């Protein structure tokens, strides 16, 4: 009997161990071969954001094939609502996603999101809408991917300065040796809107060209709002407008639409954007848009993906291209008619 009992204990032990080891092997393999990444977007219909998203999808599919791994990449649209975004993040946490990528609706709401993710030990990759540094420092598994806003402003200023130097007689319609301009701004509170607005003007001013602001207002990054603003300004200032400075391309394209729908201009104002979206590059090629500044959506998507992948696989995040601590901030490229053909073929989707 004693012998028999011993046998049972022995078999149970062997059997039990094999179940345990079987389970843990299955668990770790599942972990290794399947990654779940949740992405919440402030607005899916934003042209530049949808460009980043579609690059992310491509990069993820490519990686799946290369590494023979399953990557579940899920996008949700917060539709401009902080409440929606909070619920989406709660859901990702509940469903045990490995990484959550956040394109914040409200940049000041980052702290709450970080604290939730920290509790669940799910790393975060913020992108395009930058939390303040103090918030990023709440936890070590939090990153930010975006572009160098100051550089985009400088390049936009350069495009205007070059145009002034080349075509002053056409540009300075009232011959007062000043630029009469209107400014279409992005969303209030967005780092790219405030930095681009401030430094584009500062750089032109520092170069020594006098500026006179006729009007400026936010069109929230959106084309239809820019059309409305521009129509108002055309009514108010008409042919006085010499330059339209826009914080992004789709608003610049909206302004172009208004300009092309009227005959009040003896000479059309020049229009300059930022982002490098496809239609903007086409407009530069046609000579309608004087210039734009490419923000590298593909490289930003690559950084978002590489950080997420490294974190999920337990690899060293410091090996991600361009990373500097918790930040990846990509470089811009200045585009005018002179070099647009190089970028047209490979433009942001």
Nearer to ligand GAL by Cβ, of 156 and 295: the residue is 295
Nearer to Ca ion by Cβ, of 45 and 267: the residue is 267
Choose which of 62, 90, 115, 176 interacts with Ca ion (CB under 5 A): 176
CA Rg, the chain, in Å?
26
- Mark the segment that binds Ca ion (CB under 5 A) among 90-98, 125-133, 144-152, 171-179: 171-179
C-alpha torsion 244→246→252→254, nearest 10: -90
User: Residues 6 or more apart from 147 whose CB is under 8 A from it?
Assistant: 192, 295, 296, 300, 329, 330, 331, 332
- Decide if residue 348 touches ligand GAL (CB under 6 A): no
Q: Among candidates 269, 280, 199, which has minimal Cα distance to 230?
A: 269
Touching ligand GAL, residues 215-234 (CB under 6 A): 221
Nearer to ligand GAL by Cβ, of 85 and 128: the residue is 128
- Mark the segment that binds ligand GAL (CB under 6 A) among 12-20, 43-51, 135-143, 336-344: 43-51
> Which 8-state DSSP code applies to residue 269?
P
Q: Cα separation of 304 and 192, whole Å?
A: 18
- Mark the segment that binds ligand GAL (CB under 6 A) among 41-49, 83-91, 259-267, 326-334: 41-49
Choose which of 88, 151, 180, 248 interacts with ligand GAL (CB under 6 A): 248
Query: What stretches of the chain show up as alpha helix (H) in DSSP?
Result: 2-33, 47-67, 82-94, 110-120, 133-136, 149-171, 191-207, 223-237, 249-260, 278-286, 297-313, 340-344
Q: Could you tell which of Ca ion, ligand GAL, none binds residue 77, using a CB distance below 5 to 8 A set by kind? A: none
- Decide if residue 144 touches ligand GAL (CB under 6 A): no
Q: Cα separation of 166 and 169, whole Å?
A: 9
- Mark the segment that binds ligand GAL (CB under 6 A) among 45-53, 69-77, 155-163, 327-335: 45-53
- Decide if residue 174 touches Ca ion (CB under 5 A): yes
How many C-beta atoms surround the C-beta of residue 343 within 10 A?
18
Q: Could you tell which of Ca ion, ligand GAL, none binds residue 48, using a CB distance below 5 to 8 A set by kind? A: ligand GAL
Q: Cα separation of 246 and 219, whole Å?
A: 9
> Which 8-state DSSP code applies to residue 292?
E
Q: Could you tell which of Ca ion, ligand GAL, none binds residue 172, using a CB distance below 5 to 8 A set by kind? A: Ca ion
- Decide if residue 128 touches ligand GAL (CB under 6 A): yes
Q: Give residues in contact with Ca ion (CB under 5 A).
A: 172, 174, 176, 178, 180
Q: Give residues in contact with ligand GAL (CB under 6 A).
A: 46, 48-49, 128-129, 186, 190, 192, 221, 248, 274-275, 295
């Amino acid at each position: 009997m004693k012998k028999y009992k011993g046998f049972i204990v022995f078999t149970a032990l062997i059997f039990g161990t094999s179940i345990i080891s079987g389970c843990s092997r299955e668990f770790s393999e599942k972990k290794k071969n399947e990654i779940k990444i949740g992405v919440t977007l402030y607005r899916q219909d934003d042209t530049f954001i949808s460009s980043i998203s579609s690059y992310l999808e491509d990069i993820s599919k490519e990686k799946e094939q290369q590494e023979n791994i399953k990557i579940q990449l899920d996008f949700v649209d917060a539709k401009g609502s902080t409440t929606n975004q909070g619920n989406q993040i709660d859901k990702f946490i509940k469903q045990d996603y490995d990484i959550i990528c956040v394109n914040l609706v409200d940049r000041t709401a980052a702290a709450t999101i970080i604290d939730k993710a920290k509790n669940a030990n799910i790393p975060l990759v913020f992108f395009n809408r930058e939390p303040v540094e103090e918030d990023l420092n709440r936890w070590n598994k939090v990153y930010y991917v975006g572009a160098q806003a100051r550089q985009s402003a400088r390049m936009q200023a350069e495009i205007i300065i070059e145009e002034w130097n080349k075509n002053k007689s056409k540009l300075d319609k009232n011959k007062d040796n000043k630029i009469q301009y209107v400014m279409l701004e992005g969303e209030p509170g967005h780092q790219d809107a405030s930095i681009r607005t401030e430094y584009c003007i500062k750089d032109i001013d520092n170069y020594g060209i006098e500026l006179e602001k006729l009007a400026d207002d936010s069109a929230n990054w959106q084309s239809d709002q820019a059309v409305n603003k521009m129509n108002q300004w055309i009514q108010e200032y008409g042919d006085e407008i010499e330059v339209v400075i826009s914080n992004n391309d789709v608003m610049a394209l909206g302004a172009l639409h208004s300009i092309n729908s009227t005959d009040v201009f003896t000479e059309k104002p020049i229009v300059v954007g930022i982002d490098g979206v496809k239609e903007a590059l086409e407009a530069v090629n046609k000579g309608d848009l004087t210039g734009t500044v490419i923000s590298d959506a593909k490289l930003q998507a690559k950084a978002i993906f590489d950080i997420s992948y490294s974190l999920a696989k337990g690899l060293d995040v410091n090996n991600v291209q361009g990373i500097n601590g918790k930040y990846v901030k990509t470089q811009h490229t200045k585009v005018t008619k002179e070099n647009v053909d190089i970028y047209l073929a490979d433009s942001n989707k």
